[in-house]
Each structure stands twice: as structure tokens, then as C-alpha cells.
Structure 1
């Protein structure tokens, strides 16, 4: 058995552990990897009867085992303290923007970002400082500010166009975000005062 270590770059998308390279020795046997592979092999022989969730769980167990036992600079990261990756932030913002009026479920956002609903909400808030719902409301308020600069639009038109259920809901959320009512904000920012 050689003692020479060869670095293998990590290609997984699972971020439970951070490491730069894998170190391994040729000629060795890893009983954990052997048994995990043995558990999943029958699934590959009968793909029509395979359970994708089971295979995914085995692969995740393999990745965790490799990172802990063979990863250089292994550092476990608690999922409670991990935010969204940049691609996940972009995807979540795109979906929220596309559904600014009708809204989008947290389940759909989480699914698109490959997270569970609960974990996604925590990671989103950790990354962006607001819950997904609060972020959507802020996006609506920002859109409303642009529309309020047009003095010919009625407050109720702006409210409905920005996804608020009615003008009172709009006034409440807008006031909470800006400290002003929509009409007063309009007066301040369009020089009508």
C-alpha cells in the first residue's frame, strides 16, 4: 500500500463540509464505502424499480463520509448557520421578481434552490436579512415607489399593480417600510409639498 496522497478536487453540490481536496492512499479498503456501494448497486441493476430518494441518501452518506475521513481542512458547518449560495440567491430573487404581483410559495422557492422549506427560510434570512415574505413585500414597496413618482396614477392602482390586496394593506406595509403613507411619500418625492 502506497502512502502517496493524490489530491482530488471536490465536485459535489452538498455543502455540509468544506474542504479543498481529498487525500487517499492507493491499495486501501474502506469498509464504510464498500457497504454503502453494496447497498446501492442492486438499484442500478433494476433502474425501473429503483428509489431515487434512497439513492440520493446513499450518495449523501458517501459524500459526508469522504469529506470527514479524507478531506483536507475538513470543517463541519452546521446547517443552521449556512446561508444561500450565490446561485440560490439569484434564483430566489428571480422567482420573487417574476411573481411580484401574484406571489410565490416558499415551497416552490425552496424546491428551486434544492432545500427543504424550513432550511430555505432560515438560509434566505441569514443571507438577505429578511424572510422571503418580507423580501417580497420590500420588492413591492420599491416597485410602488417608482410608480408613485407618476402623479397621474391613483394610490389604489399602484397598490393593485404592485401585488397588494387593497389600498389599506398597501398603506400599512408601505408605512412600515418607509415611515410615510404612500400619498405623503409621493408629495415629498415629487415636489408637491
Structure 2
């Protein structure tokens, strides 16, 4: 049986046969690389160490260590890097038949109500390419386990047909959010919707890291280069929640965890989570969790 796993080295990088539309995993350790055919198949590019650059149309994606990029089969996609240090990366090519099979399996299950148009989303130009941290994806553990199997020299036995199907099912779930977000943004042009979603993703990552210190939504709008009105409206359209409520939910969840830990007073927690006063905090907390923070603290005690 043919192996699903191949290693690319400086010695074979120009001669290794890489067929398109096949389920294959390539692991490479290289110091320099350039290709004009980076997406000969639907592909997942995961950078294990250093950084790789991809040019998809007019947009350049820098994929740093610990991040991945998903993109559909399309011509003239450049990939390149030139480093004094070895760049370690994994390329996972997935054939259309595997995507179709995984989609069929998922839609046949009663608990998955996917839009029929989702299958077409995985084809250019509908697909939304975006760099994402591996640990933020629902298949992050799967990629980390793959890296471990490569380091231990057992990747050839670890990867099989079931492994690919499971990965693609997880990718479909991961991308469903982007698909719905693109549908929700009200713009006629697809490229405009993609550009807006790119900026909203940047904003969301900023909010995830700085939610305790952000004082006004306008700070986030400026960060992603949008007007406050356009940002507020587009965020709600894409994610089904206002940016203010998104920030509030993250602060309240942090507060809840701190209360449960029992190491700080409710007043101290309210200030730490950037609430103006204990009254505002208590009111928002009770509305969210149907219990006053003081009662939750007493219950845990």
C-alpha cells in the first residue's frame, strides 16, 4: 500500500513527484524554498518552526511558527522563504473526493444541519484563506499529534484514510464559521466581504488578547482600520453578536473563573475585569449567569 507520508529534504526538493488532488502529507526541513504552484490541491500549510510566505492573488500571507493556512486548489500561488535557520513545515494535500466524502457523512447525520451551499464554499473563489493559530482550531491537537509522530519516526504508520477523513470533518466544522460570517456580511462583492472578514478576524484576535484593557470599541475599530460604525455593524453581521457584548462576555467569564478560584474579593475582581464599579459588574454578571457574584462566591466557599 502506498504511503500517505513523504519527507522533503534539500536533496529531493526539486525531484520529488508531488501529484495533485491526492491525500498526502509532506514534512520538510529546508533553508530555502520557492514555488509557483503551492496550492496544487486543497491544502493545509502548517509551519512548525520559523515562517513561510504565501502569495494568494493580491494578498500575501505570512504564516509564522505555530500557525496554519488553508487554501483551495488554484494556480499561480507562490510560496517562499530564505532562512539561515532550518524552516520546518507540514503540507497536507487533500483531494476533492475526500472533502466530498466527509461532507456527505456529516450532512447525513441528523445533528448536523449544514447549508447545502457549504460544499461549494471549498472551491475558489468562495473559500476564505486566513492564517490561524493551530491551538485555536478544533483540529489543533490532531496536528500536534502528527508533529509528535514525525519526531518519533512513526508518521508512515500513523496516517491512514481514516485519519484524513477525520481531519477533513474537523476542517469543515472549523470553516463553517467563516462561511456563515461571509454570508452575513452585507456587501455585493465577494472580495469586499473577504477583506472585511480579514479585518474583523484581526480585530477579534486583538480583543481576545486585550479584552481586559480595552476601554472603548473605537480602539478596536482603529486597530483594524475601520470606522466605528462600519466595524460595529460588520462585526454583528459576521458573528451574530455586537463587539461590545463579545468583550463583555469574555470579561464576565474571566470574572466567573476568578470568583470560583476564591482567591480575590468580588470588588477586586470587578476592577481587574475593567468594570467601572461593583454595581455595574454585579448587574451584568447576574444578567449573564442568573446569580449574583457575591452569591456565587458564597456558594463556592
* TM-score for the superposition, normalised by structure 1: 0.51
Contact 1:106 1:117 in 2 (8 A): yes
Deviation track 1:69-115 (CA, whole Å, cap 9, x = no partner) reads xxx989xx996355852x43442233224433332433332233232
- Determine the structure 1 residue equivalent to 2:235: 124
Q: How has the CA–CA distance of structure 1 residues 96 and 168 changed in structure 2, closer, same or farther, with 3 Å as cutoff?
A: same
Q: TM-score, normalised by structure 2?
A: 0.35
CA contact (8 A) 1:147 1:158 kept: yes
Q: Distance in 1 between matches of 2:125 and 2:203?
A: 31
For 2:158, the equivalent position in structure 1 comes to none
Give the whole-Å Cα distance in 2 for the aligned partners of 1:107 and 1:160: 21
Q: For the Cα contact (< 8 Å) 2:235–2:243, is it kept in 1?
A: yes
Secondary structure (helix, strand or coil) at the match of 2:212 reads coil
Change (3 A) 1:114 1:145: same
Give runs of aligned pairs for residues 4-83 of structure 1, distance below 5 A.
10-11=57-58, 80=186, 82=193
Higher relative contact order (CA 8 A, sep 6+): 1
Indicate if the aligned counterparts of 1:124 and 1:131 stay in contact, CA closer than 8 A. Answer: yes
For structure 1, list consecutive stretches of 5 or more residues without a partner in the other structure. 1-8, 14-19, 22-71
Q: Relative to total residues, which structure has the larger strand share, 1 or 2?
A: 2
SS in structure 2 opposite 1:149?
A: helix
Cα distance between partner residues in 2 of 1:158 and 1:150: 11
Find the partner of 1:178 among 284, 289, 293.
Answer: 289
Give the number of the structure whose residues are more often helix, by fraction.
1
Q: How many residues align?
A: 123
CA RMSD, Structure 1 to Structure 2 (Å): 3.3
Distance 2:184 2:247 in 1: 27
Aligned match of 2:257: 146
Q: Which moved more, 1:126-135 or 1:138-147?
A: 126-135
Asked if 1:99 is matched to 2:210, the reply is yes
Would the aligned equivalents of 1:96 and 1:104 in 2 still touch at CA under 8 Å? no
Q: Cα–Cα, structure 1 residues 150 and 123, in superposed 2: closer, same or farther, change >3 Å?
A: same
Distance 1:183 1:123 in 2: 36
- Residues 259 and 293 of structure 2 are in contact (CA less than 8 Å); yes or no, is this contact kept in structure 1? yes
1:73–1:158: structure 2 CA closer, same or farther, 3 Å change rule?
A: closer
Structure 2 residue matching 1:80: 3-state secondary structure: coil
CA distance in 2, matches of 1:98, 1:73: 31
Contact 2:212 2:273 survives alignment (8 Å): yes
Q: Match of 2:275?
A: 164
Paired residues of 2:186 and 2:237 also in contact (CA < 8 A): no
**What displacement does 1:121 show?**
0.8
> Which has the higher mean CA deviation after the structures are superposed, 131-140 or 179-188?
179-188
